Structure 1
């Protein structure tokens, strides 16, 4: 496959990103690789995002602009997939940007390895553009096929060996046919952690994954106003829905090891859900009740019981004990201490 013949559709959901939109789009139109389709999907922005997008669209014929009535990034991404005409699709958040050499490198990788998925790396900047140092032990570069590709999936579900695979859709370029032929969509009722649900299925059905994580092409902007940094109503309900769907998927695929990894990941998301409840500043009187509802959930009880204390601490650290002891007071104290240390 000639690398220059590969068309890549870039889907960019937009919601109130007037401040950063030009930086994002300019990083795409100025790529060293030209065979691109840039799909902007406005998600009911209330600022000047759409008007600015209209202006930018006139500057480059490769830019397409659509409006999505349904709220949420999942709906915007699904709409973008409907209109995408490229052989591969990529997702970029509108307040982030990419290095200009990203898609040129990706196209050459596609020509060489014919992968279903390409995963590249990222670095984080704060709202002022300052780089934030992060040290995570991520999976090694390479072309993952057959059993190695399955191991890649399992590491993404849960890694006990420090070989983490980031579950962010914006770090991937994906063969569009893999998505459309298997009728995979983003769940539009999930407003947070929707990437994980989508990517587990995509990786499970893939044949070849090319990992170039050492290439930090993606610049992720840490936004204190984003949904992941604030209280998300009904987040616990979303998590339960995600994992019910994924457990059923693993059962359909007859993959017992994936099911076990998903169980462990579910406990991580359970802890995230508890921390989310502690961010609720408006309905503090109901926080304890909602946390207890999480702690005494049947799925949490089942997994905690099956794992046992030794393996639980081994895999999840002392956070596992919070789920075992079920003490709301202890959880609040630990979060208070973390807050003092980070303050």
Structure 2
């Protein structure tokens, strides 16, 4: 444990969650940590809670900035990080107490540039049952098993190492585009930063930009990261212009992946097609009048879907359900949105 790990936690209006997150981080069995809390202009009591935690643990440091979004917060954390390794944790999530120890061991074993663990979706009920709230820090055997904190198996069926090419095909282009639940070698990141001004898909572009500097990626098949399903979060809110970012990001990613691994770009176009229909689905939930006001957004969805569908290999690789929806959407977009609205909202 001689190498330091910098844990970067963007914080924005997270007063309900940040203590649970920090409790899980300070309890890590890997002790050589630098915990950087980046307060992105919170308007609630987050900053005060963070300051109290700084007093309790000398490894914690609070950085404060004007609100600029999660990418700018992570970038400030990267600028200030002094560890040989870096990981990102969202303020409303928490992690298993051996996650960093396990991921660091994977990197050492495989000589890889990053290690990824699986994650578990958790909800408010899981938050209420957190082990440290129940037992004052003592875990029962059942709680250990439930939290995914059993000792790691560093070889065999619970771990694997992939070439970067296999990682692109089987992870990145299979939907694993998150930057959390990953331990990065800081040297690999170098001067690469998250794209600012983008709120959906910024993780994907960051990971794609790292590809030329990677050779091996470690996979830990254990749900060490607990991803909180927040029904107030962006993915559950009504349409807003920032939803178009996921289309923009997949278009950019396809261009970059096409330069490195042209044989896999069709998989990126499958994801682009799906992102276009998902975004159109958000538009469909608006009233007809609101949809008229967002006509440019709909046109962008249509053009992106057409761009992806022109790749015959991508079209062939789409799930059957997406092909059926896609045919209707591309030929009769207004009808598609009306039917989707009726299905989800009842009436037009």
Task: Report if aligned partners of 1:313, 1:321 keep a CA contact under 8 Å in 2.
Answer: no
**Number of aligned residues:** 317
Residue aligning to 1:45: 42
Instruction: State how 1:5-154 maps to structure 2 within 5 Å.
Output: 5-129=2-126, 142-146=159-163, 149-154=164-169
CA distance in 1, matches of 2:166, 2:345: 36
Q: 1:5 to 1:96 in 2, by over 3 A?
A: same
Q: 1:336 to 1:221 in 2, by over 3 A?
A: farther
Q: 1:315 to 1:157 in 2, by over 3 A?
A: farther
CA distance in 1, matches of 2:337, 2:239: 19
Task: Report if aligned partners of 1:274, 1:294 keep a CA contact under 8 Å in 2.
Answer: no
Q: 1:185 to 1:319 in 2, by over 3 A?
A: farther
Residue aligning to 2:197: 189
CA distance in 1, matches of 2:212, 2:65: 29
> 2:341 aligned with 1:331, yes or no?
no
Match of 2:171 among 142, 147, 156: 156
**TM-superposition CA deviations, 1:33-58 (whole Å, max 9, x none):** 10111100001111000011001111
CA distance in 2, matches of 1:73, 1:300: 28
Q: 1:276 to 1:197 in 2, by over 3 A?
A: farther
Instruction: State how 1:292-307 maps to structure 2 within 5 Å.
Output: 292-297=298-303, 299-307=304-312
Task: Report if aligned partners of 1:72, 1:191 keep a CA contact under 8 Å in 2.
Answer: yes
TM-aligned CA deviation for residue 338 of structure 1: 5.0
Match of 1:286 among 292, 295, 305: 292
Q: 1:21 to 1:199 in 2, by over 3 A?
A: same
CA distance in 2, matches of 1:30, 1:157: 30
Residue aligning to 1:135: none
Unaligned runs of 5+ in 2: 130-156
Instruction: State how 1:236-315 maps to structure 2 within 5 Å.
Output: 237-253=244-260, 255-280=261-286, 284-286=290-292, 289-290=295-296, 292-297=298-303, 299-307=304-312, 310-314=316-320
- TM-score under structure 1 length normalisation: 0.83
TM-aligned CA deviation for residue 128 of structure 1: 3.4
- TM-score under structure 2 length normalisation: 0.82
Q: 1:332 to 1:68 in 2, by over 3 A?
A: farther
CA distance in 2, matches of 1:279, 1:54: 41
Give the RMSD, CA atoms, in angstroms: 2.7
Residue aligning to 2:148: none
Q: 1:285 to 1:167 in 2, by over 3 A?
A: closer
Residue aligning to 1:225: 232
TM-aligned CA deviation for residue 99 of structure 1: 0.9
TM-aligned CA deviation for residue 280 of structure 1: 4.7
Q: 1:110 to 1:219 in 2, by over 3 A?
A: same
Q: 1:312 to 1:79 in 2, by over 3 A?
A: same
> 2:210 aligned with 1:202, yes or no?
yes
Unaligned runs of 5+ in 1: 132-139, 160-164
Residue aligning to 2:152: none
